[in-house]
Structure formats: C-alpha cells, structure tokens
Amino acid sequence: MTTRFTANQSVEITVPDESISIQHYLRQPYRLINALADMSRVQQISSDVFRYKMRALNFISLKIQPIVDMRVWVENSGVVRIESTGCEILGIEAFNQRFALHLQGYLAPEELHQQTRLRGMANLEVHVDLPPLFALTPRPILEATGHSLLKSILLTIQQRLRHQLIADYRQWVRSQVSTTPSLILGDGLKSTDMGMIEN
C-alpha cells in the first residue's frame, strides 16, 4: 500500500539589533544546522552537507529511525536554503526501497521599518509503501496519522529554531567582537558602533 504524507510549516523570527548583521552569521551552514538539530545527532559530510540521525518515529505499530542527508547553502540574495539529498532507515535495510523522505526549506532575512526579520518555510514529504499489516487500517486514519507525525516534526524544528538561532547568533556576535573586533568593520557594522570602536 503506497501512501504519501505531507506537511509544511512557516516561521517568523524578529532579529535583535547587534553590531554584526545576521546575514554574516547565516553564511555559515554549520550555525544553522546547530540551531535546527541536536548536534550530537549530526555528522558533517562536507562544507555544506550534513547527516542527521533523527529520533525514532512511531507510526501506529511501526517504529522507524530515518537518517537524512541535508544540503544547506546561501544564495547571493542572502536567502538560506536547505534540501534533503538522501535518506535511509536505520536498522531496516529492506525498508529503504519502500521509503522516501523529501525536505525543502528556506530562511530569508527581511528589513522592515529598520527591523530585521527572518521569514521561512519548510515542506516535508514522505512516500512509503506500507507493509501488508496496515491493509486493515482505513486509509483516512493512516493519512491523518502520517500528516500529524510530519507536522509534529516540523513544529519541533520551528520551536528549536526560534529559541536556538537567536541565542546562538548573539553568542557568535560576542565571540567575534571580543576576539577579532576589526572583522566587524564593514557592512555588518552599524554607524552608531563605529564611534565606540574608534574611541
């Protein structure tokens, strides 16, 4: 029984006023992944590709643990994009041919009334060929359960992003200013801070 589950989730974050613009921070894929996921479950494959071992998911009587490869990159416009490039199910190799996960998302900085905001959207889709034991379960129940599961995943990511990203951004700014203050002289430095540094 082949079934498709989908979910999407938007996010909007107000960015605090700091001496270095958040655009500089967002150009480091590792920082965004750190805000999105528990880094103890993440392995960096290359400069912009990360392998994330998700927590085990319970779908009715089926328990699976996906491992997802994700690519993160920044466009010239400053928009950060994330996209899954591969997925496998831990410990159930035979199930890999019956399961496909696709994740796409973006995070874009916007200026409005001299205030920076981050707006984003994530879309998660799963195609799965369910085992015969699910044949007796009505399709509407399967679909509702699947959609709810994916939505809960995206909500968890959204909540973590809201709490972790700004906290990590502030910490990053402090570390940059304290260790290499000259690096902030540029478009990331606000005019009100220039005098303080020169003094």
The structure tokens listed for 132 are 């015969």
Class (C level, CATH) for 2-189: alpha beta
* Chain Cα centroid distance, residue 55: 15
Question: How does pLDDT run across 45-60, given as a tens digit for each residue?
Answer: 999 999 999 888 888 8
Task: Specify the pLDDT at position 72.
Answer: 95
Task: Specify the pLDDT at position 199.
Answer: 35
* Chain Cα centroid distance, residue 119: 13
The structure tokens listed for 99 are 């399961």
Maximum Cα–Cα distance across the chain: 75
Q: Which residues contact 187 (CB under 8 A, 6 or more apart)?
A: 21
> Burial of 101 by CB count in 10 Å (0-12 exposed, 13-18 middle, 19+ buried)?
buried
Rounded to 5 degrees, what are φ and ψ at 88? -140, 160
Question: How does pLDDT run across 90-119, given as a tens digit for each residue?
Answer: 876 767 788 899 999 999 999 888 889 999
Radius of gyration of the chain (CA): 20
Task: Specify the pLDDT at position 182.
Answer: 52
Domain coordinates in residue numbering, the chain: 2-189
Q: Please state the pTM of the whole predicted model.
A: 0.80
Higher pLDDT pick, 167 / 199: 167
